[in-house]
A and B are shown apart, each in its own frame.
Chain A
């Protein structure tokens, strides 16, 4: 029986706490008597036979007819699926998407459906490489569809491949992939890693255009999503739900397949990352030492390659299919079961060790903008109720924060960092003065459409992702990051956690209370 999440009150006997630091780790001693460490629940038991569970979900969907009854010869069937941003780290083969796609395609073949197109729901993310697509959908599916041009990647900038379905009662344009919208059935295959994923967001965001996305990917929405891991208090989700309902009302039939994973995120060789420090065995300690020492000696590029090669032993814990909202309610309950940790009240300081990976740097570099997004966008927002740190408090992030970018994946990020952040770090000013120019830049558009670049506007979204935290916090400090890059972000550099705590005392006093979110594995702090 997996143990639930746990909040450790730090005392003098508490060992140093493992803190992620990019492609490495640090052991940090937290002040006794006023610090706590929030640990994730242990991985839930996986489904015994995930392929059979998927088949059963398709045959017995929620609030919807069984999938075989929706399939008929001569129909247009489109199957969309999540892109490389999920899951994290990428999972070992077979990926949930492969399993679900194969099950749907088997049923389609049995029903005599010939016109089948697969679309990777990129939104404004980068196009995936062949190797990445093969990993996600499996070789069998890739070889059957890609050579004949029936495995597509959504292009949010192709006017001929988009259709405007209407405007919501809040004035939001709904413009999505034309093939998906004009199919007799749109099946969406999702991996719900966190509570933010899935539901109407799958189609309304994953298959949308910039014209549509800008209505919810903006500063106002992010500041009114508290948090976006809690759909009932997330303007991001409210907007997506309005759009999703409009999509359904306009005649697009969506059959949603959502899968969840347990948080078994790291292979057994790195088992210490899944454990609580006082439970480390001698072998765990030896592995930790060997790993950290060899990583310290490795050039950054090598260390990055080592971490990017990690394939998580995630296992499927549930699969639901059918009507979008019914499916997503069941999925979200499962995500919460795996990730919720009851936490009592807020503290003055939150410490977030940032890992090597976020949704936007798979096989890439965690550049400074992604560091901000990972810390203040994702980890800060891993809460339900209230943030773990009080308003006016301090966030301490731990990450090397190199002034380094992948120019193929993140071309507009470089300009955002060099031009925009050199001018201002205020999300509202950034949105007002710069967003449109970046969003419509011909070069970025070209690279997004033909290369493997994130859309020109994407770094703005990363910055907006942290807008709620920027408004909430009095100060952000990054431990052991490149001082120059950290200052460009508008944050304060500190050499050590102790220095950071000393610096934070200017804001929160000499004896602040501290929360350390021991993440990953992913969890959601359920703050009373």
Chain B
């Protein structure tokens, strides 16, 4: 079968790192065998649509953190935002985390025992090769191909009336829903979302549909189409980068000191970019005692943490999904489905490419905002299957 595959090649990753425009040097379109089923109950899934995520872009451009080295296994087929079909025709979305129960680790780790599989401590154990998710594991394959292997616990049925475009948005939206619910409830909450790519927009949508305590929501959007979507999805104020501090000042009634720092700020900040600049800006607009949630994958960044210390700001990550205590224990995927439907997030799917145009697809995804797009996907529905 045809698949996009990444092999361990330091030379290729190094080359990708210096290439302009996210040239996907480590990615190759290959003809490979479908993955073998790792155990009983596992099924082959035929991907229909498979998204290109920010973490995928970091990987293919050689900019991913070395943190991941022990928890991925080469060669692997990327793609963890997947809507596909089982061999018996069920349409499903994949919950890609490869946790203890999927790996056959008994007894499961403490986190998995409590249901918080995104905190799994055994991502390298069990009968699977290392891999934090489907799309980073040699044994399971990934969504950028014509077939992947999935455990029954990973499958979520898609209602028949749903489009594939809506379904493929569930996984990223589940991440956003999980992030939205990280801070404790706080009436009159003033929130900031930095970044208006897919994760930023899905976070805005989730905040508006899963939390009733958000009073004002300031979104930072770089590109005109992003600004329109951010407002439509529920941002009360949408600003361009560089305008955030003053917007927060206006909303919160704080002052700006001579060096540009605010005397107050927002109660919660969602950094959906993950750069040094966005994190620094997030800390700069966070009020004393506020929470900064890192939604976008950050990698190696250097920032001044004085504000975090002096203002007792909480810096927390939000990774993947699980049962959400703030939503009565409902699973992030269930909440995401609710958000996708209510906010019509299928509209974020802006472009679809066949596998053999992977370079164009990745370039489009890397410059999605500038090109008026949000989510770019591979469309595998019309690929020849052999």
Residues of A within 8 A of B (CB): 411, 414-415, 418-419, 441-443, 446
**In the complex, what distance in Å separates the CA atom of A443 from the CA atom of B255?**
5
With CB as the reference atom, state the residue of chain B lying closest to A446. Answer: B255
| Cβ contact within 8 Å between B256 and A443 | yes
Does B239 belong to the interface (CB within 8 Å)? yes
Return chain B residues, CB-CB under 8 Å to A442.
253, 255
Q: Chain B's nearest CB lies how many Å from the CB of A65?
A: 50
Other than A415-B249, A443-B256, give 18 A-B pairs with Cβ distance below 8 A. Answer: A414-B246, A415-B246, A415-B250, A418-B239, A418-B240, A418-B243, A418-B247, A419-B237, A419-B239, A419-B246, A419-B247, A419-B250, A441-B250, A441-B253, A442-B255, A443-B249, A443-B254, A446-B255
Give the A-binding residues of B (Cβ under 8 A): 237, 239-240, 243, 246-247, 249-250, 253-256
Give CA–CA (A446, B249) in the complex, Å: 14
Q: Distance in Å from the Cβ of A443 to the closest Cβ of chain B?
A: 4
Q: Which residues of B contact A446 (CB under 8 A)?
A: 255
Q: What distance in Å separates the Cβ of B220 from its nearest Cβ neighbour in chain A?
A: 12
Q: How far is the CA of A167 from the CA of B246 in the complex (A)?
A: 37
Contacts of A419 on B, CB cut-off 8 Å?
A: 237, 239, 246-247, 250
Q: Which residues of A contact B239 (CB under 8 A)?
A: 418-419
Q: How far is the CA of A441 from the CA of B256 in the complex (A)?
A: 12
A446 CA to B258 CA, complexed, in Å: 13
Least distance between B140 CB and chain A CB atoms (Å): 47
CA distance A411 to B256 in the complex (A): 10
Task: Give min CB distance, B219 to chain A, whole Å.
Answer: 13
| Complex: A442 Cα to B255 Cα, angstroms | 8
Can you name the residue of chain A whose Cβ is closest to the Cβ of B260? A407
Please give, as numbers and ranges, the residues of chain A lying within 8 Å of B253 by CB-CB distance.
441-443
Contacts of B250 in A (CB 8 A): 415, 419, 441
CB < 8 Å A-B pair total: 25
Cα(A122)–Cα(B243), bound, Å: 30
Name the A residues within 8 Å of B255 (CB-CB): 442-443, 446
With A and B bound together, what is the CA distance between A419 and B243 in angstroms?
9
- A313 CB to nearest chain B CB (Å): 37
- The prevalent SS among residues of B at the interface is mixed
Least CB distance from A447 to B in Å reads 9
Q: How far apart are the CA atoms of A418 and B247 in the complex, in Å?
A: 8
A418 and B253 CA atoms in complex are apart in Å by: 16
| Listed A/B pairs (15) with beta-carbon separation below 8 Å | A415-B250, A418-B240, A418-B243, A418-B247, A419-B237, A419-B239, A419-B246, A419-B250, A441-B250, A441-B253, A442-B255, A443-B249, A443-B254, A443-B255, A446-B255
- Provide the bound-state CA to CA distance between A442 and B246, in Å: 14
Residue of A nearest to B244 (CB): A418
In angstroms, Cα B253 to Cα A446, docked, is 12
> Separation in Å of the A138 CB from the closest CB of chain B?
31
Residues of B within 8 A of A415 (CB): 246, 249-250
A411 to B254, CA, bound (A): 14
| Bound Cα distance A443, B250 (Å) | 9
Contact indicator A418/B256 (Cβ below 8 Å): no
Closest CB of chain B to A101's CB: distance in Å? Answer: 34
Q: Which residues of A contact B256 (CB under 8 A)?
A: 411, 443
Chain A residue, CB-CB nearest to B254: A443
Which residues of B are found within 8 Å of A414, using beta-carbon distances? 246
B370 smallest CB distance to A (angstroms): 15
B349 CB to nearest chain A CB (Å):
28
B63 to chain A, nearest CB (A): 30
> Chain A residues with Cβ under 8 A from B240's Cβ?
418
In the bound complex, what is the Cα–Cα distance between A441 and B254 (angstroms)?
Answer: 10
Nearest B residue to A408 via CB reads: B258
- Contact residues in B for A443 (Cβ distance below 8 Å): 249, 253-256
Please, how many angstroms separate the alpha-carbon atoms of A13 and B118 in the complex?
A: 80
Within 8 Å CB of B247, what residues of A?
Answer: 418-419
Q: Which residues of chain A come closer than 8 Å to B237, judged between CB atoms?
A: 419
Measured CB to CB, the closest approach of chain B to A132, in angstroms, equals 20
Chain B, residue nearest A484 (CB): B240
Q: Which of A411, A418, A441 has most chain B Cβ within 10 Å?
A: A418
Q: A286 CA to B239 CA in the complex, in Å?
A: 47
B254 contact set on A, CB distance < 8 A: 443
Query: Which residue of the partner chain A has the closest CB to B255?
Result: A443
How many whole Å from A501's CB to the nearest CB in chain B? 29
Chain B nearest CB, measured from A492 CB (Å): 18
Q: Which residue of B lies closest to A444 (CB)?
A: B255
Q: Could you say which residues of chain B place their CB within 8 Å of the CB of A418?
A: 239-240, 243, 246-247
Residues in B neighbouring A411, C-beta threshold 8 A: 256
Q: Please, how many angstroms separate the alpha-carbon atoms of A319 and B186 in the complex? A: 65
Considering the chains assembled together, what is the distance between the CA atoms of A446 and B237 in angstroms? 25
Which 4 A-B pairs have CB atoms at the shortest separation, nearest pair first? A443-B255, A418-B243, A415-B246, A415-B250
State A146–B246 Cα separation when bound (angstroms).
35
Residues of A near B249 (CB, < 8 A) are 415, 443
Name the CB-closest residue of A to B249: A443
CB distance from A453 to the nearest CB of B (A): 11
Complexed CA–CA distance, A446 and B255 (Å) = 9
- CB nearest to B246 among chain A residues: A415
Docked CA distance A415–B247 (Å): 8
Q: Give Cα A442–Cα B252 distance, bound, in whole angstroms.
A: 11
How far is A411 from B247 in the complex, measured between Cα atoms in Å?
12
Minimum distance in angstroms from B128 CB to a CB of chain A: 51
Task: Give the distance to chain B from A407, nearest Cβ to Cβ, in Å.
Answer: 8
Nearest chain A CB to B255 CB, angstrom units: 4
B119 to chain A, nearest CB (A): 41
Q: When chains A and B are docked, how far (Å) is the Cα of A441 from the Cα of B253?
A: 8
B135 to A: closest C-beta gap in Å? 39
- Distance A414 CA – B239 CA, assembled complex (angstroms): 13
Expressed in whole angstroms, the Cα–Cα distance for A443 and B264 within the complex equals 12
Measured CA separation A92–B163 after assembly (Å): 75
Shortest Cβ distance from residue B243 to the other chain A in the assembled complex, whole angstroms: 5
Point out the residues of chain A lying under 8 angstroms from B243, CB to CB: 418
In the assembly, what is the distance between CA of A414 and CA of B255, in Å? Answer: 14
Q: How far is the CA of A504 from the CA of B239 in the complex (A)?
A: 32
Q: Could you say which residues of chain A place their CB within 8 Å of the CB of B246?
A: 414-415, 418-419
- Closest chain-A Cβ to B281's Cβ sits at a distance in Å of 15
Residue of A nearest to B250 (CB): A415
The residue among A419, A441, A442, A446 with the most chain B CB atoms within 10 A of its own CB is A419
| Bound Cα distance A149, B254 (Å) | 31
| Residue of B246, B253, B254, B256 with highest tally of chain A CB at under 10 A | B246
| Distance in Å: Cβ of A442 to nearest Cβ of chain B | 7
In whole angstroms, how far apart are the Cα atoms of A443 and B254 in the complex? 7
Cα A419 to Cα B244 in complex, Å, equals: 11
Q: How far is the CB of B239 from chain A (nearest CB, A)?
A: 7
In the complex, what residue of chain A is closest to B243 when comparing beta carbons?
Answer: A418
Task: Tell me, in angstroms, the Cα distance from A442 to B256 when the chains sit together.
Answer: 11
Query: How distant is B107 from chain A, measured CB to nearest CB, in Å?
Result: 56
Question: Which residue, of B237, B240, B247, B255, has the highest number of chain A Cβ atoms within 10 A?
Answer: B255
| Bound CA span A415–B243, Å | 9
Residue of A nearest to B238 (CB): A422
In the assembly, what is the distance between CA of A443 and CA of B243, in Å? 17
CA distance A418 to B256 in the complex (A): 16
Q: How far is the CB of A275 from chain B (nearest CB, A)?
A: 43
| A442 (CB) vs chain B CBs: closest residue | B253
Q: Which residue of B lies closest to A417 (CB)?
A: B243
**Chain B nearest Cβ from A30, distance in angstroms:** 36
Shortest CB–CB separation between residue A449 and chain B, in angstroms? 13
Question: Closest Cβ of chain A: how far from B146's Cβ, in Å?
Answer: 46
